[in-house]
């Protein structure tokens, strides 16, 4: 058992109340070919201290959503409606991020909200040593800190993500890809934000490095209690680390629910298709089908459900009516999920059909035993 | 057996029983070095691929798995004649690698590539009719214009771009990423190759499309009896389509064997780390299977310009012994699997 498994009760209390309420947020790209509704009527809540995963294919609107709620978007992207209510800590009143001007937004950056982007090399300044880039952020937010205190904090931050403090004097190009990504994470945590937004933070690194980074992020999140919005196209990864998951398709959220429910009982046929598009590692191999067709053209969205043309369960009304997110009845102990589907899948339909399709000779991987043996070795 | 492998062993450790006809690819002590410059500016040798032994049997999918910089793409590039081997033997379809241009064309009639990025690998100024027809013409696979048209339609149907009439005059620009990758596969199939080199063929595609391409490769293995070297860093997809897996680390093959054995019972500590690190949807939160993987040492990629006498994985290995730092372990056979690890010595 790792020390981080023991969460203190006081820290558990973080998991109460909303931190960020996204209400009916719409973002449009104004292009010559017309308005592209990249994000349409998105409503989502992020709770304090939780990990909310957002999954979707390219052009599903997930990155647009992130840049819109952090006010990092540039023209031609325009927020055309909705609000993003951010509940600040320390008894300060909630604010609507959409309506804040940059002068009011600026104090929130780094201290309340921060972001980790996919391409670390593009985010770090190539001609500044790591130390200077960290010091920039830390002194901006803590003008009274002495140089010694700043250096101490930098050392602490780098240690937190497993980078030797000597690297503070290195330039970004002297770091490996994994180290760069980890230093961005350390930078995002420099001012103890309540919310860290991560946009495909591990897509550019190797599987083993990805696991190292995510384990560090999870351990830090448990210790420091910040909330995470994690965006990635890799649903299998998201299932492993998220408390709740939102699935986006064609600029809209089509399903939201607990990770366990999304995995075991997806209600939206797209969620089911996406889940089945990732071959499992520990379950028996069976032929998976993927999702027929291609993602929708946002310039020419169908009148009804955007997924209807690809949906194996589509009926006539799906082509005419656009379904709204609604609460799904639940039988389990978990909280009910939401899905935007006129004919959501029954809980029974969505079980993974392992028994009937399993290859008789296939044996599931016992990754627990595998891990146990690896750990044993590590302790020698 | 504990001694290092002889140069030409009759049966390779980790190879299955060899059916009649022999392997389509047979590599022995295959090595490729590059000359580069170190950070200080001095000359260094980058040992991209070092003394690799493997066979690929006809009609099988062999997955080559490893981190970036492990040498998997260099290995494929040697097979694609893009880098001549520095040393070692590489026999493809019973012949040594060609040197003369005419022989190279004949070689490409047996071996074809599918690249990672279907947006870069197709000529966007030409319709599919031209892209596929050209491959047929260069390799003399079509007899006359009419036959060429028939074959193009047949190829499009083979990769499920149906009805073919709808696609023959289309340009790549009007196709989605998944469709483009199908065209790239159809072009490779035009010459009726015996070996396809697929270097991360799905990593640029969306999740929902990726599976279609994997299924297509699996079906082509069965219908065309084509062997496929599938290069990936995604061990879950390797498990999904391959018959055998080879794991590379720091320029060497550290483990190989039948897919199920390698994934379910990895013998090399690096393979264990790789399997344990891979995301698995079955380990979702609340499944009780959530785990932390203990990564020992720094998970940084190996520096293959440094020469080492022992095992490249030793600095990161949780099981490391003194011997590992001094003596390089050969591929040791256990059952159908082989792994380059001293731990297996006791089990033999």
Q: Are residues A72 and A193 in the same domain?
A: yes
Q: Residue A269: which pLDDT band, with cuts at 50, 70 and 90? A: very high
Question: Rounded to an integer, what distance in angstroms lies between the CA atom of residue B99 and that of residue B318?
Answer: 45
Q: Please tell me the predicted confidence (pLDDT) of residue A106.
A: 93
Q: What mean pLDDT comes out for the span A69-80?
A: 91
* A65 and A203 inside one domain: yes
Closest among A42, A8, A13 to A26, alpha carbons compared: A42
Q: Using the beta-carbon criterion (under 8 Å), do B318 and A377 form an inter-chain contact?
A: yes
Contacts of A279 in chain B (CB under 8 A): 211, 214, 236-237, 239-240
pLDDT at B295: 56
With respect to residue A379, please indicate whether it lies within any of the assigned structural domains. no
On whether residue A365 sits in a domain, the answer given is no
Nearest CA distance, A280 vs chain B (angstrom):
6
pLDDT, tens only, A312-344: 999 999 999 999 999 987 666 667 899 999 999
Q: Are B295 and A215 in contact (CB < 8 Å)?
A: yes
Cα B191 versus chain centre, distance: 20
Q: What is the CATH number of the domain that holds A167?
A: 3.40.50.300
A248 pLDDT exceeds 50? Answer: yes
My answer on whether A171 and A40 are in the same domain is yes
Query: In the sheet that B61-65 helps form, which strands lie side by side, from edge to edge?
Result: B111-114, B195-199, B227-232, B61-65, B244-249, B252-258, B337-339, B332-334
Number of domains in chain A: 2
Q: Where are the domains of chain B?
A: 25-110+199-208+225-280+293-347, 120-192
Residue A270 has pLDDT above 70, yes or no: yes
The pLDDT-based confidence of B291 (bands split at 50, 70, 90) is: low
User: What share of chain B in percent tops pLDDT 90?
Assistant: 70
Q: What is the pLDDT of residue B8?
A: 40
Q: Which residues of A31-61 are buried (b: 16+ CB within 10 A; e: fewer)?
A: eeeeebbbbbbbbbbbbbbbbbbbbbbebbb
User: Where is average pLDDT lowest: A30-34, A47-51, A217-221, B20-24?
Assistant: B20-24
* Neighboring chain B residues of A207 at a CB cutoff of 8 Å: 67, 233-235, 274, 277-278
Q: How far is B54 from chain A (nearest CA, A)?
A: 24
**What mean pLDDT comes out for the span A356-378?**
45
Identify whether residues A96 and A235 lie together within a single domain: yes
Q: Which of A138, A258, A123 is nearest to A180 (CA)?
A: A123
Instruction: Label residue A3 by pLDDT band (50, 70, 90).
Output: very low
Nearest residue to A236 (alpha-carbon basis) of B279, B239, B237: B279
User: A158 and A268 share a domain?
Assistant: no
Minimum CA–CA partner of A274 in chain B: B208
CB contact under 8 A, A233 and B206: yes
Q: Would you say residue A14 has pLDDT above 80?
A: no
CA distances from A267 to A260, A329, A341, A349 (A): 12, 10, 8, 9
B95-96 sheet: strands from edge to edge = B43-56, B25-37, B87-92, B95-96
How far does the CA of residue B217 sit from the closest CA of chain A (Å)? Answer: 13
Domain membership of residue A378 (yes or no) is no
Q: Largest Cα–Cα distance of chain B, in whole Å?
A: 68
* Domain assignment of residue A305, yes or no: yes
pLDDT of A376 higher than 60:
no
How far is residue B282's CA from residue B273's CA, in Å, rounded to a whole number? 18
Average pLDDT of chain A is 85
Interface confidence (ipTM) of the complex: 0.81
A206 and B67: CB-CB below 8 Å?
yes
User: What is the structure's pLDDT at A91?
Assistant: 83
Give me the pLDDT at residue A85, please.
96
Instruction: Give yes or no: residues A94 and A140 share one domain.
Output: yes
Q: Are residues A228 and A260 in the same domain?
A: no
Q: B25-110+199-208+225-280+293-347 is classed in which CATH architecture?
A: 3-Layer(aba) Sandwich (3.40)
Which of A211, A242, A273 terminates a domain? The answer is A242
Tens digit of pLDDT for each residue in B138-168? 999 999 999 999 999 999 999 989 899 999 9
Tell me what pLDDT residue A305 has.
95
User: Which residue of B243, B285, B287, B313 is the best one to mutate when testing the A interface, meaning the one whose CB has the most A CBs within 10 A?
Assistant: B285
Query: In which element (H, E) is residue A308 found?
Result: none
pLDDT, one tens digit per residue, over B5-36 is 444 444 455 544 444 578 999 999 999 999 98
Judge: A281–B275 Cβ closer than 8 Å, yes or no.
Answer: yes
Statement to judge: residues A168 and A281 lie in one domain: no
Q: Which residue is listed with tokens 């999304």?
A: A262
Degrees, nearest 5: CA angle A269-A273-A279:
155
Average pLDDT over residues A180-184: 93
Shared domain for A7 and A30, answered yes or no, is yes
| pLDDT digit string, tens, across residues B64-115 | 999 888 999 999 999 999 999 999 999 999 999 999 999 999 999 999 999 9
> Which residue do the tokens 């040798």 mark?
B45
Strands ordered across the beta sheet of A95-96? A34-47, A18-31, A77-86, A95-96
Q: Which domain holds residue A184?
A: 3-242
Average pLDDT over chain B reads 88
The pTM is what?
Answer: 0.85
Closest to A268 measured CA to CA, from A56, A82, A50: A56
> In chain A, what percentage of residues exceed pLDDT 70?
86
In a domain, A373, yes or no: no
Are residues A66 and A136 both part of a single domain? Answer: yes
- pLDDT (0 to 100) of residue A10: 40
Q: Which of B209, B284, B298 shows the shortest C-beta gap to A263?
A: B284
Q: Do B210 and A277 touch (CB under 8 A)?
A: yes
- A41-63 mean pLDDT: 93
Q: Which residues of A touch B234 (CB under 8 A)?
A: 207
DSSP A252: E
A201 and A62: one domain?
yes
- With CA atoms as reference, the chain A residue closest to B273 would be A208
Residue A11's pLDDT is 40
Is residue A77 one of the residues assigned to a domain? yes
Do A176 and B301 lie within an 8 Å CB cutoff?
yes
**Closest to A216 in 3D by CA, of B316, B299, B275, B70:** B299
Query: Is residue A18 domain-resident?
Result: yes
Asked whether the beta carbons of residue A374 and residue B294 sit closer than 8 angstroms, the reply is yes
pLDDT at B206: 83
CB contact under 8 A, B293 and A215: yes
Lowest model confidence (mean pLDDT) among A171-185, A279-293, B86-100, B241-255: A279-293
pLDDT, tens digit, for every residue of A99-147? Answer: 999 899 999 999 999 999 888 788 999 999 999 999 999 999 999 999 9
Contacts of B76 (CB under 8 A, 6+ apart): B64, B113, B197, B199, B229, B231
What contacts A61, CB < 8 A, 6 or more positions away?
A: A27, A38, A39, A40, A42, A248, A250, A251, A252
State phi, psi for A58 to the nearest 5 degrees: -60, 145
Average pLDDT over residues B57-67: 95
Is A131 part of a structural domain of the chain? yes
């Amino acid at each position: 058992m790792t020390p981080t498994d023991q969460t203190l009760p006081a820290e558990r209390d973080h998991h109460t109340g909303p931190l960020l309420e996204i209400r009916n947020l719409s973002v449009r790209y104004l292009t010559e070919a017309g308005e592209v509704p990249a994000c349409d009527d998105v409503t989502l809540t992020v709770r304090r201290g939780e990990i909310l995963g957002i999954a979707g294919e390219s052009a599903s609107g997930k990155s647009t959503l992130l840049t819109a709620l952090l006010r990092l978007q540039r023209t031609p992207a325009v927020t055309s409606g909705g609000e993003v209510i951010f509940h600040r800590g320390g008894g300060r009143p909630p604010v609507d991020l959409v309506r804040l001007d940059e002068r009011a937004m600026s104090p929130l950056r780094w201290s309340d909200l921060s972001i980790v982007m996919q391409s670390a090399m593009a985010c770090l300044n190539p001609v500044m040593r790591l130390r200077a880039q960290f010091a920039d952020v830390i002194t901006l937010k803590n003008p009274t800190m002495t140089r010694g205190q700043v250096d101490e904090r930098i050392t602490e931050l780098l240690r937190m993500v497993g980078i030797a403090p000597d690297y503070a004097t290195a330039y970004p190009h002297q770091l490996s890809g994994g180290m760069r990504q980890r230093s961005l994470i350390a930078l995002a945590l420099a001012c103890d934000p309540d919310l860290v937004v991560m946009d495909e933070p591990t897509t550019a690194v190797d599987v083993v490095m990805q696991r190292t980074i995510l384990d560090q992020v999870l351990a830090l999140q448990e210790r420091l209690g910040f909330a995470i919005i994690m965006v990635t196209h890799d649903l299998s990864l998201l299932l492993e680390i998220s408390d709740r998951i939102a699935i986006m398709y064609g600029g809209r959220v089509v399903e939201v629910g607990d990770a366990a429910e999304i995995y075991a009982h997806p209600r939206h046929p797209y969620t089911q298709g996406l889940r089945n598009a990732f071959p499992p590692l520990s379950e028996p191999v069976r032929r998976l089908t993927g999702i027929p067709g291609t993602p929708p053209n946002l310039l020419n969205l169908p009148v009804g459900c955007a997924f209807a043309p690809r949906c194996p369960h589509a009926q006539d009304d799906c082509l005419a009516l656009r379904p709204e997110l609604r609460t799904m009845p639940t039988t389990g102990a978990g909280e009910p999920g939401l899905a935007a589907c006129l004919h959501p899948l029954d809980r029974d339909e969505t079980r993974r059909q392992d028994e009937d399709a399993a290859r008789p000779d296939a044996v599931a991987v016992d990754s627990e035993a595998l891990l146990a043996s690896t750990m044993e070795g590590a302790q020698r | 057996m504990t001694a290092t492998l002889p140069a030409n062993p009759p049966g390779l450790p980790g190879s299955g029983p060899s059916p009649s006809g022999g392997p389509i690819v047979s590599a022995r002590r295959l090595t490729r070095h590059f000359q580069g410059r170190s950070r200080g500016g001095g000359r260094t040798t980058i040992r991209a691929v070092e003394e690799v032994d493997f066979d690929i049997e006809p009609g099988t999918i062999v997955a080559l798995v490893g981190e970036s910089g492990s040498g998997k793409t260099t290995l494929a590039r040697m097979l694609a004649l893009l880098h001549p081997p520095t040393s070692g033997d590489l026999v493809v379809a019973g012949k040594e690698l060609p040197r003369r241009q005419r022989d190279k064309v004949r070689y490409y009639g047996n071996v074809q590539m599918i690249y990672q990025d279907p947006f870069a690998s197709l000529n966007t100024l030409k319709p599919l009719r031209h892209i596929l027809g050209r491959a047929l013409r260069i390799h003399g696979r079509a007899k006359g214009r009419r036959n060429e048209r028939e074959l193009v339609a047949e190829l499009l149907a083979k990769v499920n771009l149906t009805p073919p009439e709808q696609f023959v005059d289309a340009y790549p620009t009007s196709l989605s990423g998944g469709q483009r990758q199908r065209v790239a596969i159809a072009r490779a199939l035009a010459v009726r190759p015996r070996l396809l080199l697929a270097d991360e063929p799905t990593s640029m595609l969306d999740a929902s499309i990726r599976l279609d391409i994997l299924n297509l490769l699996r079906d082509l293995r069965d219908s065309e009896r084509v062997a496929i070297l599938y290069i990936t860093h995604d061990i879950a997809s390797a498990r999904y389509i391959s018959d055998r897996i080879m794991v590379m680390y720091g320029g060497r093959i550290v483990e190989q064997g039948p897919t199920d054995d390698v994934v379910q019972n990895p013998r090399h500590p690096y393979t264990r780390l790789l399997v344990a690190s891979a995301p698995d949807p079955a380990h979702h939160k609340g499944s009780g299977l959530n785990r932390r993987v203990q990564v020992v040492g720094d998970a940084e990629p190996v520096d293959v310009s440094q020469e080492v006498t022992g095992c490249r994985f030793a600095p990161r290995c949780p099981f490391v012994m003194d011997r590992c730092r001094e003596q390089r372990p050969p591929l040791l056979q256990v059952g159908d699997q082989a792994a380059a690890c001293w731990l297996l010595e006791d089990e033999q």
